Amino acid sequence: MTRGQGHPDIQPILSNSHSFSMLLTAMHKRRFFFRIFIAVVCMVMRLPASAQVRDTVDAGGAMVTLSEVVVRSGMDVNGFIERVRRDTTFYKAFRNLRVLSYSSLNDIRMAGRRGRQGAGYRSRTRQTAWSGCRVTSVIESSQTGDFFERDGSHRYYTARLYDALFHSFDTICGQHNLVRDHAPRTRGTSGMDRHKEQLKTLFFNPGADIPGIPLMGDKTRIFDADHRPLYDFDIDIQDRKGVRCYVFRISARKDLGMLDRDRIVIDEMETWFDYRSFEVMERTYAMRYDAGVYRFDVRMHVELGHAGRYLVPTLVRYDGSWKVALKSPEQGVFTATLFDFE
């Protein structure tokens, strides 16, 4: 064996060892890049479809952002917004409560001073409806704090409005669920009755005119040509509880100046429409207004479902503050859970 040559039996072993080392290195590299690939795929899959590819179009002065799936669908954006503007299914769902019997779990909580827990009231009620008449009965109830006055009347304006909107403890007749026109019927009314009609429109038909509220004017007309440029619109298609839905979002532009900001009441609204029937299935909205003698800052969340052939609200959540002339400011939350429709 000459100098410089390895042992004939050792050389193949060294060669094989080197090849094995190179193989291991290659495998580690492949595994590393595979892990990166999987991580990227997972990140993309976690993003909603609306965050992947989007487009923005001008619709009558409003900038409307469309998700990828909406872009591919070839939607008539102006036609869609007009259909939203003319929708009455949300208001109709609340009108249906006038002709149906149902049970309700009611939870009202008023904030105390300096953030302390205030008064509260919880109850289970049952509305009975027959031949155009209806009446509400209290099945059980409990209260905390000074929720009621000594004579049993409501101490808080918020609670009075809640009862006025959802309950009728005296039998009333002539009820129907027709939606001929959903303008508030404030003519000839005053006080609580007037505020009730105004709030019904504000809560259940956002975007409609609300006469009689000081200095409000047309500030709720979010779809009018003068107000569209004050908002950003967003349209998507997603699933909600296994049902395909359009998702329509409206939000006040973040770059509004003080004067433009004073022209709006609805800060944001998100609505889920059934893809096939275009019925409203869910809506969340935030509103605020300040005219000195009358101000509010309210957030509402409403979920709807079907009771037979009727579309009805099944959950209503409210969180807001009110200040009405000659009344102390109030802040409260309430939740109404409606079920057992007949």
CA trace torsion 135, 198, 330, 169 (10° rounding): -10
pLDDT at 206: 72
Distances (CA, A) of 282 to 96, 107, 176, 243, 325: 16, 20, 23, 12, 33
pLDDT at 38: 54
- Quote the CA–CA distance of 335 and 333 in Å, as a whole number: 7
Answer whether 299's CB lies under 8 Å from 320's CB: yes
For residues 128 and 23, membership in a common domain is answered with: no
- Quote the CA–CA distance of 239 and 294 in Å, as a whole number: 39
For residues 269 and 180, membership in a common domain is answered with: yes
In a domain, 269, yes or no: yes
In a domain, 7, yes or no: no
**Exposed/middle/buried for residue 206 (C-beta within 10 Å: 0-12, 13-18, 19+):** buried
> What are the pLDDT digits (tens) for 218-249?
788 888 888 889 999 999 999 999 999 999 99
Answer whether 284's CB lies under 8 Å from 319's CB: no
For residues 201 and 274, membership in a common domain is answered with: yes
Token representation of residue 83 = 């259909």
For residues 318 and 181, membership in a common domain is answered with: yes
Answer whether 250's CB lies under 8 Å from 61's CB: no
Q: What are the residue ranges in the chain where pLDDT is below 70?
A: 1-53, 114-116, 181-192, 195-196, 211-215, 217
For residues 164 and 98, membership in a common domain is answered with: yes
For residues 99 and 176, membership in a common domain is answered with: yes
What domain range is 30 assigned to?
Answer: 13-46
Residue 235 phi/psi, 5° resolution?
Answer: -125, 135
In a domain, 270, yes or no: yes
For residues 92 and 180, membership in a common domain is answered with: yes
pLDDT at 280: 96
Number of domains in the chain: 2
In a domain, 130, yes or no: yes
- Quote the CA–CA distance of 342 and 127 in Å, as a whole number: 10
In a domain, 80, yes or no: no
In a domain, 198, yes or no: yes
Helix axes of 157-166 and 191-204: crossing angle, nearest 10 degrees: 70
Q: Which residue has the tokens 């509010």?
A: 296
Going 238 to 249 to 305 to 106, the CA torsion angle's sign is positive
Going by DSSP bridges, is the β-strand pair 243-252/266-274 parallel, antiparallel, or unpaired?
Answer: antiparallel
* Mean pLDDT score of the chain: 82
> What are the pLDDT digits (tens) for 102-149?
999 999 999 877 666 789 999 999 999 999 999 999 999 999 998 999
For residues 19 and 151, membership in a common domain is answered with: no
For residues 332 and 271, membership in a common domain is answered with: yes
User: 265's torsion region: left (phi>0), alpha (psi -120 to 50) or beta?
Assistant: alpha
Token representation of residue 120 = 């509260």
CA trace torsion 336, 195, 126, 337 (10° rounding): -10
For residues 214 and 161, membership in a common domain is answered with: yes
Strand runs (DSSP E) across the chain, as ranges? Answer: 54-59, 62-67, 102-111, 117-130, 133-144, 231-240, 243-252, 266-274, 280-290, 294-307, 310-324, 330-339
The DSSP secondary-structure symbol of 327 reads S
**Helix, strand, or coil here: 257?**
coil
For residues 22 and 142, membership in a common domain is answered with: no
Closest CA relative to residue 281, chosen from 319, 309, 235, 245: 245
Residue 136 phi/psi, 5° resolution?
Answer: -110, 135
pTM (predicted TM-score): 0.79
In a domain, 319, yes or no: yes
For residues 194 and 94, membership in a common domain is answered with: yes
Q: What CATH number has the domain bearing residue 166?
A: 2.30.230
In a domain, 244, yes or no: no
